[in-house]
Amino acid sequence: MPEPTARDTRTATTAVPLHPLLAQRWSPRAFDPHGEMPADQITALLEAARWSPSAANTQPWRFVVARRGTPAFAQVLAALAPGNQVWARNSAVLLVAVAETVDEDGAPRPWAQYDVGQAVAHLSMQAQAEGLVVHQMGGFSADALSSAFGLEERFQPMVVAAIGSHDADLVLPEPLAVREQATRTRLPLAELLVGGEPVALPRSA
Ligand SMILES: Cc1cc2nc3c(=O)[nH]c(=O)nc-3n(C[C@H](O)[C@H](O)[C@H](O)COP(=O)(O)O)c2cc1C
C-alpha cells in the first residue's frame, strides 16, 4: 500500500494492503455544517444495513433517521452527551440504530446487538463508498431517545451515528482539534489471537 500523504494521515497502517474503503475509513468530528444528504443516499445506507446478515435472518435492526434542521434531529442531538453535541450538530444526519432484543411474542433475541453492530458496519462502508463519513457514538441517553421516539422496552438504542460530509478545513474547539489529528492506533494483530493455528504476522503488525 502506498505511504499516506501529508494530507492523508488518517489512512490505517496495515500489515498487508486492505481495500481502500476499509483502510481509509475513520471517525472524523469535523462535519461540513452545510452538507446535506440526498434522499437516495439515505436510502442506499439503509439498504446496505437491510441486506446485512443476521442470526436466523431475524433482522433485529431498527433505525431513526433525523436530518439536520428537523425536530427529530433536535431530539436526537439533545439526547447526546454534551461532548458529542459540540461537533455532531454539524452532521447532515443523525441515525439511531436500535436493537429488537425481544420479539413480539416475548422470546429473547440473543444476537440482536451483534446483528445491529454488523448492520451499522455495512451502512458505514456504503457511506464511505458514497464519499460520506460516519462517526458512531455510545455517549447518549437511551432513555431520552426511547421516550422521544416512543420505543417499546424491547427496543434498545445501541448507537447514534453522525453521518455527513467531512470538512477538513473546519476548525474544531480544543481538545477536539488535537484529537482530530492524533495518530490512529490499534492493538497488534498478535494480541488478537487467543488460540488456533499460527498466523503469519509481519513484524510491523
Ligand atoms: C460503539 C461505539 C461508541 C462510540 N462512542 C463514541 C462517542 O460517544 N464519542 C466519540 O467521539 N466517539 C465515539 N466512538 C468513536 C470511537 O472512539 C472511534 O471509532 C475509535 O476511537 C477508533 O477510531 P476510528 O473510528 O477513527 O478508527 C464510538 C465508536 C463506537 C463503535
184 lines ligand 1 (CB under 6 A): yes
Can you give the pLDDT at residue 47?
Answer: 98
Angle, vertex CA 99, rays to CA 35 and CA 185, nearest 5: 60
CA of 133 to the centre of ligand 1 (A): 13
Do 27 and 134 contact (CB within 8 A), yes or no? yes
Can you give the pLDDT at residue 199?
Answer: 85
Can you give the pLDDT at residue 11?
Answer: 93
Please give the Cα distance from 35 to 138 (Å, whole number): 23
Can you give the pLDDT at residue 197?
Answer: 86
Can you give the pLDDT at residue 27?
Answer: 98
139 lines ligand 1 (CB under 6 A): yes
Q: Which three cell numbers stand for residue 29?
A: 468530528
Can you give the pLDDT at residue 205?
Answer: 62
Can you give the pLDDT at residue 105?
Answer: 96
Do 161 and 120 contact (CB within 8 A), yes or no? yes
Q: Which three cell numbers stand for residue 52?
A: 446485512
Mutate to test the pocket of ligand 1, among 136, 166, 181 (most ligand atoms within 8 A of CB): 136
Q: Whose CA is nearest to atom 12 of ligand 1?
A: 137
Local confidence pLDDT in tens for the 205 residues of the chain: 444 443 457 999 999 999 999 999 999 999 999 999 999 999 999 999 999 999 999 999 999 999 999 999 999 999 999 999 999 999 999 999 999 999 999 999 999 999 999 999 999 999 999 999 999 999 999 999 999 999 999 999 999 999 999 999 999 999 999 999 999 999 999 999 999 988 887 766 6
161 — phi, psi (to 5°)?
-110, 125
Residue 29 CA: which ligand 1 atom is closest?
11
Can you give the pLDDT at residue 6?
Answer: 36
186 lines ligand 1 (CB under 6 A): no
Can you give the pLDDT at residue 143?
Answer: 98
